[in-house]
Structure 1
């Protein structure tokens, strides 16, 4: 399923900033799964993907943990 980034407990903008850093080191098409607890992340990650060109493949929530699967854009 690709790389996993655990940003639970961190508040905006840290989850997106950490995801941006990890994504920059991945190959195009690679998947990054992000787990966050900040309720703002449900707004932040879709916006981040729209702005950067990465694809938000999947988004879900379970027991207060928000999970985002992001596909790295082509270079």
Structure 2
């Protein structure tokens, strides 16, 4: 689901704009890498942060491609 929402948000953005996405699904690491590798968008960074509720939050910074 995070990829579908991310795709929709990026489609409404201008080229070069950046989006920060927070996800709790560990599989999102693979999903976001694959998404950016197969689209014209750039995965600028990927971080993890501990979270009391979900244990880990995955944070992605993506630049809208042209």
TM-score by length of 1: 0.80
Distance in 2 of aligned mates of 1:53 and 1:23: 11
Residue number among 30, 35, 43 corresponding to 1:56 in the alignment: 43
More strand by percentage: 2
* d(CA) in 1 for partners of 2:26, 2:38: 20
Point out where structure 2 has 5 or more consecutive residues left out of the alignment: 51-55
Number of residues of Structure 1 aligned to a counterpart in Structure 2 = 61
**Superposition pairs for residues 1-75 of structure 1, below 5 Å?**
14-63=1-50, 64-74=56-66
Q: Which has the larger radius of gyration?
A: 2
Runs of 4+ in 1 over 4 A off after TM superposition: none
Alignment deviations for residues 35-59 of structure 1 (CA, whole Å, 9 cap, x no partner): 0000000000010000112000010
CA RMSD, aligned part only? 0.4
| Unmatched 5+ stretches in structure 1 | 1-13
